[in-house]
Amino acid sequence: MSTWDKAKADSQEHFCIDQADGDCKECARVERLIAAGDQLQAENERLREALKEIADPIAAMKKEAEQQGFKPDGRVIVEMAANPQWFREKARAAIKDTTQ
């Protein structure tokens, strides 16, 4: 269990009299923090995936070609991996996804 999952589990154990009415400010704050944490965790996962693709561009390009129904050509993929534009596009797309 990750540190974030442990913190969420601990925060969900909070109990108060006002919770049933939805008036507890602490409950509302905890819910906002959990939502923000979930969003950051998802963003972190997307950025990590982009970094994995950038770190191993040949495997990423082969996977992308197969997903699009193409048979990956090793020579072409190696040549594409030498092109810095692919890396820029991956990095920019990952950054764009996190700012929306």
Regarding whether 66 and 29 lie in a shared domain, the answer is no
Averaged confidence pLDDT in the chain: 81
The pLDDT confidence band at residue 13, using thresholds 50, 70 and 90, is: low
- Indicate the pTM of the whole model: 0.65
Domain count, the chain: 2
The pLDDT confidence band at residue 78, using thresholds 50, 70 and 90, is: confident
pLDDT of residue 16: 63
pLDDT of residue 49: 92
Calculate the CA 68 to chain-centre distance: 22
Regarding whether 39 and 20 lie in a shared domain, the answer is yes
CB-based contact 16:24 (threshold 8 Å): yes
pLDDT of residue 11: 61
Q: Take residue 33 and report the two structure tokens written for it.
A: 């923090």
Regarding whether 22 and 5 lie in a shared domain, the answer is yes
Regarding whether 42 and 3 lie in a shared domain, the answer is yes
Regarding whether 72 and 35 lie in a shared domain, the answer is no
Regarding whether 69 and 33 lie in a shared domain, the answer is no
Range of the domain at 22: 1-47
Regarding whether 65 and 88 lie in a shared domain, the answer is yes
Summarize the confidence of residues 20-39 as an average pLDDT. 78
CA distances from 77 to 49, 51, 60 (A): 19, 18, 10
**What is Dmax (Cα atoms) for the chain?**
67
